[in-house]
Structure 1
Amino acid sequence: MSASIKDGISSRDAVLDSAGRLFGERGYRGVTVRDIASDAGVSAALVMKLYGSKEKLFAAAKPDESLLSELDVPASELGATLVFRVLMRRERGLKEPWAMLPFVIQDSPTPDAARTETRERYLSSIAGLMGDTTPERLYASTVIALMAGFGEAVRTLGMFAEWDFDELVAHYGAIVQVQIDACRAART
């Protein structure tokens, strides 16, 4: 039985947490219902009873982009805050929306529609946070590319594991912040 079930989290939540993390690390095709059940500390039969199919579980485990709109920090701290959140989710074993982006799109029954919808959600959120009003939202696009790469590198490739947490936030946060500051400078 997994620690999360022992700690009082419902079986449904444990399965969803495990599915989100595993799909984010390995993609849809790289994860079986048995993998998810084992990680959650439940039976594969219970997973199927709760969600009906791997496809429905994948849809339920999609990343929650609301985390982008919940950022209430000055634009001057946005880069470090985005990086901090990726690292905190890694530390806590939570699913990583940035790392899940390619899987959500590639494994969708309609990849073109998923790409358009996901791109627009992320662009709208990031552009709004940083005030990017350029027609192409070039600065927001660059921040998304930097964060998606970082999320993938940290979670899927296991990079930066040796770095000190605060040093990595400062280092990579500064890289992201360059685009945020360039956007602010372009507006003035």
Structure 2
Amino acid sequence: MNSTSRDRILGAAGRLFGERGYRAVTVRDIALEAGVSASLVMKLFLSKEKLYAAVQPEESVFAELDVPTTELGEALVFRVLMRRERGMQEPWATIPLAVLDSPNPGATRSEVRERYLDAIAQLIGDTTSDRRFASTVTALMTGFGEAVRTLGLFDSWDFDEVVEHYGAIVQTQIDASKAAR
């Protein structure tokens, strides 16, 4: 029982949950993928639900996003494409699966919705009572993350072309939020 085993378990669980979803993955699947026993998985994480919570992306899609508001659309799109190129988990793409396949979908939906809407609203300065611009940016980015990862859309496009094209679409909502103030 060392940190290497724990790291292997977390890595295996993240991959499997990301590929198949919560319900389709067993503790035995994770243990087999990690090269450890199922009992060690349970000893370290106590339950499949707690392991699932432990592998949710910790990296905030907003961390270190220190760019002018006028460049925010492109910056958000750029980060999705960079995570794809580096083989990293895509938080935007995992939102639907994390909610729908969660052990408690209602609570997860509320928590994820508020976390993302609050962060985007603060980032773009959306002061509307219904956070309409933050909602639209969140929808655009969730759809983009899914389209890039799941459908492989934009694979044949030049990287910079995607950033410019889709970034401009996202930017329209960011600019509209500023205009609504």
What TM-score do the two structures reach when normalised by structure 2? 0.84
1:39-188 equivalent positions in 2, closer than 5 A: 40=34, 42-43=35-36, 45=38, 46-64=40-58, 66-187=60-181
Deviation at 1:136, TM superposition (A): 0.5
Provide, for residues 110-167 of structure 1, a one-character-per-residue CA deviation record: whole Å limited to 9, x for no partner: 2222111111110110010100011011000000000111111111222222222221
Residues 24 and 97, structure 1, Cα contact 8 Å, conserved in 2: no
Shift of 1:32: 4.3
Cα distance in structure 2, aligned partners of 1:116 and 1:165: 34
In the alignment, does 2:6 pair up with 1:12? yes
Cα pair distance change 1:18/1:159, threshold 3 Å: farther
Shift of 1:19: 2.7
Q: Distance in 2 between matches of 1:165 and 1:142?
A: 23
Identity %: 69
Residue identity matched to 1:75: T
Is the CA contact 1:21–1:93 (under 8 Å) kept in the aligned structure 2? no
Unpaired segments ≥5 residues, structure 1: 1-8
Task: Give the aligned residue type for 2:109.
Answer: R
Q: Secondary structure at the match of 2:180?
A: helix
Q: Given that residues 5 and 36 in structure 2 are in contact (C-alpha distance below 8 angstroms), is that contact kept between their aligned partners in structure 1?
A: no
Superposition pairs of residues 30-45 of structure 1, within 5 angstroms: 30-33=24-27, 36-37=30-31, 40=34, 42-43=35-36, 45=38
Runs of 5+ consecutive residues of structure 2 not aligned to the other structure: none
Deviation at 1:176, TM superposition (A): 0.8
Partner SS state of residue 94, structure 1: coil
Kindly tell me: are residues 15 and 168 of structure 1, through their superposed partners in 2, closer, same or farther at Cα, counting changes over 3 Å?
Answer: farther
Q: Are 2:70 and 2:175, in contact at CA under 8 Å, matched by a contact in 1? A: yes
Residue 60 of structure 1 deviates from its aligned partner by: 0.6
- Segments ≥4 residues shifted beyond 6 Å: none
CA RMSD in angstroms, aligned pairs only: 2.3
State the Cα distance separating 1:171 from its structure 2 match: 1.3
Give the AA of the match of 1:63: P
Q: TM-score, normalised by structure 1?
A: 0.82
Are the equivalent residues in 1 in contact too, given 2:83–2:89 (CA < 8 A)? yes
Letter in 2 for 1:167: E
